[in-house]
Amino acid sequence: MTLIGKRSILNIMILLFFLLAGSTSLAFGEAFSDRASSGSSMVIARNQDIPEGTKYIDYSEKTLSAAASDYKVLFFYASWCTLCRGVDSGLTENTDEIPDNVLVFKVDYDKEKKLKKQYGISQRHTFVVLDPDGTEIDRWVGGSSDDLIARIEEHVQ
């Protein structure tokens, strides 16, 4: 078999692999998507969507609506943003400092266009604080995880 023939067979095998892997992920994608976006700490389930003790979690419409009785902070995060990565790391390491009745949602700045439009977000590294009714009570751009926790504490008693 010639070199071109071997490459063609290899390319076909790779293509088939990705096609089969893609269809498998489509079939099982919904079953695993909730687990993939469950965020950081997992203790005892508060409900199906947000585990008890969780204070920092990846955003989804489902988890945001499940946090109806909590204050919420939307952290518009971009993986390519150095400052965002610093805040993400600080929040992950210091979740104990976030008040118990507050959930911080890590919102993917590049993917959540609908939510960005809803809140008029034009910059990554933006924070929006919502009361338990979903009303915006504060907003700012920039700062560290310590700044975030201090500002949250101003609103939450």
Domain locations in the chain as residue ranges: 56-155
Q: What is the pLDDT of residues 2-16, one digit of tens each?
A: 545 555 665 566 554
Contact partners, residue 11, CB within 8 Å, separation at least 6: none
Query: Quick one: pLDDT at residue 155?
Result: 85
Report whether pLDDT(136) > 60. Answer: yes
pTM, rounded to two decimals: 0.69
Query: Quick one: pLDDT at residue 3?
Result: 47
- Is the CATH code 3.40.30.10 the one for domain 56-155? yes
Tell me what the pLDDT averaged over the chain comes to.
77
Q: What is the pLDDT of residues 55-113, one digit of tens each?
A: 999 999 998 988 877 899 999 999 999 999 999 999 999 999 999 889 999 999 999 99
Which of 14-18, 24-28, 33-37, 69-73: highest mean pLDDT? Answer: 69-73
CA distance 105 to 130: 11
How far does CA 76 lie from the centroid of its chain?
9
Residue predicted with more confidence, 53 or 132: 132
Report whether pLDDT(29) > 60. Answer: no
User: Model confidence at 39, in pLDDT bands (50, 70, 90)?
Assistant: very low
Give long-range contacts, CB 8 A cutoff, 24+ apart: 62-68. 62/34, 63/37, 63/39, 63/103, 63/105, 64/105, 67/103, 68/132
Tokens of 141: 């751009």
Residue predicted with more confidence, 80 or 36: 80
